[in-house]
Structure 1
Amino acid sequence: MSQEEESGTVRRGRPRSEAVEQAILAGAIRLLEEGVPLAEVSIERIARTAGVGKATIYRRWAGKEELFVDVLRSVEPPGPELPGTSTRDDLIALLEALRRRGLAKRSSAFLHNVFAQMQSYPKLWAAYRATVIEPRRRLTLDVLRRGVETGEIRSDTDVELLTDLFVGPLLLRTVIRPDATLDEDLPIRIVDAVLAGARPPAAG
């Protein structure tokens, strides 16, 4: 057995091609943008649209749901770069990214339709939550825990609940009240309002 085999670094099968993967994702997006329902977007149809064989897709994804998760991830904006100057600044950056995602979902018929249909696919929704939503929630929790460590947030604070208080207003306006405004200063207003109740009392 070679050193590479012992270390587990040997790549089996054909090497992955970034260009081929992008073509497959673009093919799936094209079908969805054309209004094809999720239920009718088959691997065969995606392969035909992308100009590849079905086997090429199955070498990269186990099935349609796994492929759809990567499709949704590919249209998500990148995570925000946190300034790291304070808990407040990091939270504002996180909520600004969430506000922009809300605006994108309002303005994009494609995103609106896909997310509306996705609720009918529990496995797809669960995979999307695990790979996209939960990592962003953990990032917010990390920021809040650092805030507790630095004394910017009270040590007895329930950071899980605090996370919900920060993101809740934006999710409410994006999902339940799509007619509500998502003003530019909304992240600042939310962060300052919630932090007002979470900061340690001033020494006096």
Structure 2
Amino acid sequence: MVETQEATTARRARYGGRAQGVPERGAPARGRPRSEAVEQAIVEGVVQLIEDGVPLAELSIERIARTAGVGKATIYRRWKGREALFVDVVASMEVPDAVLPGTSMRDDLIRLLEHMRRRGLNMRSSALLHNVFAQMKTLPKLWDAYHEVVVEPRRRVMYDVLRRGLADGELAPGTDVELAADLFTGPMLLRSVMRPDGPLAEDLAERIVDGVLTGLRTQAPTTA
């Protein structure tokens, strides 16, 4: 799922990460070139250490600073600590967030699920990303940070889309927004995460959205 730039700024500021996000790997510097170059070097330093087989649990700020050719203070000026840095590094390796079209609830839902589908394909094709997530699950503090900083804001974006659809009459009055969100995301998560060999066809997002919408529009409304 995706989030707005405002949501990205707020979540990273709240946790202590970079307010404007992480530069894409290999992307040219923008805005303040010197600052962007330093941040890129730090992110690339972490990725290089992971590629070299260094476990996340052994990645200290000191070691990252040496690899990136910067001082520890330079890292701490940009990230509150290891967890905030690692979350931004992982975010830089994932599929970039998409911009919601805003033309209808259906269009926005398809875009959200399409992002999940593409993320699933990326996870399957990237051994490095798969390895990072496997390690994150063994580090409760980092895993919780990832959910707080990345997963929860994306879930709130889904809720906002459904609430707008409810207000615009695209969903029946009384539709349970949280349950509806689970109905939309569940099949895509099952296919992309729980069934790593399951097909992720290009039209899967559209088929899921239309199928769930048909069911929601024909069932009796419930109290939210």
Task: Give secondary structure in 1 for the equivalent of 2:78.
Answer: coil
Q: TM-score, normalised by structure 2?
A: 0.78
Aligned residue number for residue 10 of structure 1 = none
Q: Map 1:170-185; keep pairs closer than 5 Å.
A: 170-185=188-203
One-letter code of the match for 1:29?
V
Q: Map 1:133-172; keep pairs closer than 5 Å.
A: 133-172=151-190
The count of corresponding residues between Structure 1 and Structure 2 is: 187
Aligned residue number for residue 72 of structure 2 = 54
5+ residue gaps in structure 1? 1-14
Q: CA deviation at 1:126?
A: 1.3
Contact 1:24–1:50, Cα closer than 8 Å, also in 2: yes
One-letter code of the match for 2:151?
I
Change (3 A) 1:25 1:72: same
Measure, in 1, the Cα distance between the counterparts of 2:148 and 2:80.
17
Contact 1:153–1:200, Cα closer than 8 Å, also in 2: no
Contact 2:98–2:115, Cα closer than 8 Å, also in 1: yes
One-letter code of the match for 2:65?
A
Q: Map 1:31-70; keep pairs closer than 5 Å.
A: 31-70=49-88
Q: CA deviation at 1:75?
A: 2.1
Task: Give secondary structure in 2 for the equivalent of 1:199.
Answer: helix
More relative contact order, 1 or 2 (CA 8 Å, 6+ apart): 2
Q: Deviations over 1:23-52 (max 9, x none)?
A: 101100111123221112222221121111
One-letter code of the match for 1:163?
A
Contact 1:152–1:200, Cα closer than 8 Å, also in 2: no
- Pick which of 111-120 and 127-136 moved more: 127-136
Aligned residue number for residue 71 of structure 1 = 89
Contact 1:24–1:47, Cα closer than 8 Å, also in 2: yes
Q: Deviations over 1:106-132 (max 9, x none)?
A: 100111000011011111111111111
Aligned residue number for residue 28 of structure 1 = 46
Q: CA deviation at 1:173?
A: 1.8
Change (3 A) 1:61 1:84: closer
Q: CA RMSD in A?
A: 1.8
One-letter code of the match for 1:186?
L
Measure, in 2, the Cα distance between the counterparts of 1:59 and 1:147.
41
Measure, in 2, the Cα distance between the counterparts of 1:153 and 1:17.
46
One-letter code of the match for 2:130?
H
Larger Rg: 1
Measure, in 1, the Cα distance between the counterparts of 2:76 and 2:149.
20
Contact 2:95–2:122, Cα closer than 8 Å, also in 1: no
Change (3 A) 1:146 1:44: same
Contact 2:41–2:68, Cα closer than 8 Å, also in 1: yes
Task: Give secondary structure in 2 for the equivalent of 1:190.
Answer: helix
Aligned residue number for residue 104 of structure 2 = 86
Q: CA deviation at 1:133?
A: 0.9
Aligned residue number for residue 191 of structure 1 = 209
Q: Does residue 132 of structure 2 align to residue 120 of structure 1?
A: no
One-letter code of the match for 1:65?
E
